[in-house]
Structure 1
Amino acid sequence: MNTNAPDNLAAKHPKEAALFARLDSLGIAHHTEEHRAVFTVDEGADVKARLPGGHTKNLFLKDKAGAYVLISALGSTEIRLNQLHKRIGTKRLSFGKPDALKALLDVVPGSVTVFSVLNDTEGQVRLILDKALFSHDSVWFHPLRNTASTRVRSADLLRFADGVGHPATLIDFKEDIT
């Protein structure tokens, strides 16, 4: 495990060790940096400034028919929720409720991450990855809590998604919707 995580800074998520073990078992190198709690992309600008690579945002969504979607995108990517359903073949989308987030992905608001699909053992959440993530050699995600960030190679994202039973749909959010 390539983790730089002092034990005294923040309580770890109960499944964080399982996440790192899964990354290790999939042959995915990772490095974790502790930091203060960060709840939004803008709020973490100073944290990102010291961590080279792509930084991410993650949206937990539910469509009008009850289907759940997790979007993992580059932090600077513009996602038009009012048009997204047309791109991904769902009903209109809105943000998922915190209780559903906890029940399905075992994380709380502010800690949503691509890594949380590890906890969706019944495959109820569809994973969408922003193609812009792959324009960076490495990308950072929370390791199930918002008081740390974990770096992986962007090339390993699809291996992780497949390895936890959540094959990803890739979307280029810069393309126009017709």
Structure 2
Amino acid sequence: MTEDDIYAQFARAGVAVEKLEHPAVFTVEESAAIHAALPAAHTKNLFLKDKKGGFWLVVLPSERRADLKAFAELLGAGKFSFGKPDDMERLLGVTPGAVTPLAVANAPVREVTVVFDAGFEQAERIAVHPLRNTATIALPFAALVSWLESLGHDVRIVALP
């Protein structure tokens, strides 16, 4: 699925999306100016692999530290390691730095489990990359979850430690 396909699907569903173009960013620290310019709950996206070979996309608020051991324990995943870039490209169609929950649309159904921190439920909007790290879009969190579920993907909303 392309970025334009995603925008078209949101438009057909009546979902308002605000887009901000910017220089490439690879870390949350590099994103500070974007956070100021685009009011929304910004994300940290972790592409992970469990010890059984299953893939996960864990989405945290950008300012949160990631505790992979605690996440794996809570989610019943055994042990997490970071997914390899070739798996990321094969499953999500994106490269490191551009990981986004939107990319799950490119994965075969049930190949990547998406987990959002429950804190996003309190946010009016969530900010994510649109398959590239040279733009950020903001949209209603509930609309993002509904869209992923409408494509057949498993989405879990969990209070992550």
Normalising by the smaller structure, the TM-score range is: over 0.9
Find the partner of 1:151 among 138, 143, 155: 138
- Contact kept, 8 Å, 1:55 with 1:140, in 2: the verdict is yes
CA positional deviation for 1:153: 0.9
Gaps of 5+ in 2: none
Tell which structure's C-alpha radius of gyration is larger.
1
Matches within 5 A, 1:127-166: 127-166=114-153
Alpha-carbon distance between aligned partners in 1 of 2:43 and 2:37, rounded to the nearest angstrom: 15
Superposed CA offset, 1:147-177 (max 9, x none):
0001101221221221221131111124xxx
Superposed CA offset, 1:66-96 (max 9, x none):
0000011211223310121111111200100
- Contact kept, 8 Å, 2:109 with 2:153, in 1: the verdict is no
User: Runs of at least 4 residues of structure 1 off by over 3 A?
Assistant: none
Alpha-carbon distance between aligned partners in 2 of 1:133 and 1:16, rounded to the nearest angstrom: 23
CA positional deviation for 1:137: 0.5
Counterpart AA for 1:26: A
Q: Secondary structure at the match of 2:48?
A: strand
- Contact kept, 8 Å, 2:61 with 2:117, in 1: the verdict is yes
Length-normalised TM-score, structure 2: 0.94
Gaps of 5+ in 1: 1-13
Counterpart AA for 1:42: E
CA positional deviation for 1:46: 1.5
What's the counterpart of residue 36 of structure 1?
A: 23
Counterpart AA for 1:144: L
Find the partner of 1:63 among 42, 50, 53: 50
Alpha-carbon distance between aligned partners in 2 of 1:135 and 1:53, rounded to the nearest angstrom: 11
Distance 1:72 1:26, change over 3 A: farther
Find the partner of 1:49 among 36, 53, 69: 36
Q: Secondary structure at the match of 1:55?
A: strand
Length-normalised TM-score, structure 1: 0.85
- Contact kept, 8 Å, 2:125 with 2:140, in 1: the verdict is yes
- Contact kept, 8 Å, 2:110 with 2:154, in 1: the verdict is no
Alpha-carbon distance between aligned partners in 1 of 2:7 and 2:70, rounded to the nearest angstrom: 35
Alpha-carbon distance between aligned partners in 1 of 2:18 and 2:96, rounded to the nearest angstrom: 23
Q: Percent identity?
A: 36
